[in-house]
Chain A
Amino acid sequence: EVQLVESGGGLVQPGGSLRLSCAASGFTFSDHYMDWVRQAPGKGLEWVGRSRNKPNTYSTEYAASVKGRFTISRDESENSLYLQMNTLKTEDTAVYYCARVLCTSTTCYGGDYWGQGTLVTVSS
């Protein structure tokens, strides 16, 4: 059974840093692209970034709103995905989800399995 469990959320002051983790199980982690998606309180979904799979050297893409501040990484030995968030702003307050990406041989279509989310609150 595919499982994704996020952790690491909490309250942080503006300008601070936080690292989110996503523990993956039930599938071959290195074979899959992975996304981070967030949702501000009462708002819609916003894509944050993507980590491609091992054959694609775990390369990454980011939304403009987080580029240069957030970094996605993986630990293959721990089957874990990470989101390092630096220089946090109040507008980064959101529930953060990790998702396994559904890809065919040619195209990807967003997350087919999602974690339960972890809440990040940026406030003084």
Chain B
Amino acid sequence: AIQMTQSPSSLSASVGDRVTITCRASQGIRSGLAWYQQKPGKAPKLLIYAASSLQSGVPSRFSGSGSGTDFTLTISSLQPEDFATYYCLQDYNFPLTFGGGTKVEIK
């Protein structure tokens, strides 16, 4: 199975900060990567698919980049509603695998 290594596992940031989360695949997955946001007690929400395509309705401060094995989710200016846990998912090979998550907390 493809391993997805996400880093950092947590971070503290302030409103307005630029935040970057990375995900590394144990083998190449082309652009078969999605990013999700999850708030406590809620279902995950799709932010980015195909590594860099913004899902409809998601604010443009979210962006994704990368291909192959290394991927990045960037929040250009962190907003209060962005404090949550973020997960990457590879949908290139079965079994699908999620990264371990990155909890973004208020500094």
Chain A residues with CB under 8 Å of chain B are 35, 37, 44-47, 50, 61-64, 97, 99, 102, 104, 107-112, 114-117
Contacts and interface: CB of A to CB of B under 8 A. Distances in A.
A116 B94 CA distance: 25
B43 A110 contact: no
Interface size class of B (residues with CB under 8 A): 20 to 34
**Binding site of B, secondary structure by majority: helix, strand, loop or mixed?**
loop
Contacts, number: 69
Nearest to A97: B43
**Binding site of A, secondary structure by majority: helix, strand, loop or mixed?**
strand
A45 B95 contact: no
Interface of B: 1, 31-34, 36, 38, 43-46, 49-50, 55, 87, 89, 91-92, 94-101
Query: Top 10 nearest A-B pairs by Cβ distance?
Result: A109-B49, A114-B43, A47-B96, A45-B98, A109-B34, A110-B34, A110-B89, A44-B101, A61-B94, A63-B95
